Amino acid sequence: MGDSILSQAEIDALLNGDSEVKDEPTASVSGESDIRPYDPNTQRRVVRETFAGAGNH
């Protein structure tokens, strides 16, 4: 492995978002949008239950 300590210039670049690759959004080619409105009534509800004895060692 290389040096695990970053230089101040590397830290500043990470914090400031400096990079040579520009992440710019691209326009959608299709006429229809892939984004759908969120409807909480159609979402499945996740229920987490605790079972007696599970993790109680």
8 Å CB contact between 49 and 43: no
Quote the CA–CA distance of 14 and 20 in Å, as a whole number.
Answer: 12
Quote the CA–CA distance of 30 and 27 in Å, as a whole number.
Answer: 9
pTM of the model: 0.27
Q: Which residues lie closer than 8 Å to 19 by C-beta, 6 or more apart?
A: 13
pLDDT tens string, the chain, 57 residues long: the values are: 566 899 999 889 889 886 666 666 666 666 567 787 877 777 776 666 776 666 655
